[in-house]
Chain A
């Protein structure tokens, strides 16, 4: 019972307190705000310790059960080796830590993301069809933007780039703004529900 009541009470107390604090420009209110910011930094740092503990525990359990031993082994080995280099050797620009980052992590992650271009080209060729009016409009808008934002678009006609910019500035922005206002109102409603303890999914279980 207390395991749920105490977090709910803390959320209610700080939710109301910080909402009220925002509207009070008094030095005491300001000091409270700065103190809460300091605490937030401390809590975030502690969360990293929890995350690291969870990662190690998860992969260690997998190795113990002989599930994907190689993958989990590589993860733990890489994790401890990089942590050792970072904590006890050096993190300067000419260090082994930085060399491994620049020559292993950077190309691996950049390559994985770059593959998207190939998948997208293949998917567009197979599935991007002018089946109805909406799909045709989408197709035409895509063509305008794809040509308008590359230098060739400007070479075809200078107005092409302007038209692509207009698509982004007017129809795109109108839709985005509507979505953002909706998301903002939704966020306020959800925050109020969390502060009042109506929405409790974040407690888990």
Chain B
């Protein structure tokens, strides 16, 4: 028995990596489809978008790069699907140079799924350097900050921008990020112009943003893959109600892996502590 405990408490790095890899890969191959429980910050964002009248415009800011893609990209797609399914016009921008292609790919993918027309139902404006100046500039005149869209078409010629000038005409900004962008959106767009802000952030960043939720500076927040999975679940339900083909549940499947990985890490930490206390007891004896 002591030998077994000694072995378990002295696992080498390769064994731990192997166990974790299996814990991540197996649920992806054999989905568990664990039921989702929607947390209040996610429900609040969903309800806010649900409350917007058809034809409203929202701005989705792709502030993430491929490094945090597994967490932020599914939530970007889920919010896009929700907005487009409700006939809300979407303006996509990018404030992270590494995310330009992700924003383009996501917005085109969902637009194709829901048969939306470029220029009327959605527009992708691409990247702009200097976060602060861009966020402030959008409060004055979108046409000045982004004279052309991603493809170089003057935005004055796009029907969507005929009655969209600044934040007064944009019902919500959602920042998807693995860094401090959502806080900057609050400082520049919410504090100065009173624009409604929501955030989709990585799990590790989420704890930093709870004060903004409590103050009402965020209308809602999606935290990590869990937030994305919950939003996917809500959107899936909406699509079923509307008779639309349900989108592939990327984050919901990812949560199976994350659940197993979390449990494995907890078990490993407990085993590590058992070993620690046994060694301490032996040294004391």
Contact = CB atoms under 8 A, between A and B. Distances in A.
A7 to B, nearest CB: 19
Interface string B262-273: 111110110111
A203 B278 CA distance: 56
B204 to A, nearest CB: 9
Contacts of B266: 143, 146-147
Interface in B194-252: 203, 206-208, 210-211, 214, 223-224, 226
Given A37-B133, A109-B67, A168-B210, A155 B34 contact: yes
Contact of A152 (B17, B140, B263): B263
A168 B37 contact: no
Question: Secondary structure of the B side of the interface?
Answer: helix
Interface string A124-155: 11101110000000010011001101111011
Question: Secondary structure of the A side of the interface?
Answer: helix
Interface string A2-45: 00000000000000000000000000000001100110110111
A139 B226 contact: no
Given A40-B130, A44-B130, A146 B20 contact: no
Interface residues of B, number: 64
Given A45-B129, A98-B104, A128-B269, A150 B226 contact: yes
Nearest to B265: A121
Interface string B120-150: 0000000011101110110011001100001
A129 B137 contact: no
Interface of B: 11, 13, 16-17, 20-21, 24, 34-37, 39-40, 65-70, 98, 101-102, 104-105, 108, 128-130, 132-134, 136-137, 140-141, 144-145, 150-151, 203, 206-208, 210-211, 214, 223-224, 226, 255, 258-259, 261-266, 268-269, 271-273, 276
8 contacts: A41-B128, A43-B130, A44-B129, A48-B129, A114-B70, A118-B16, A118-B17, A121-B265
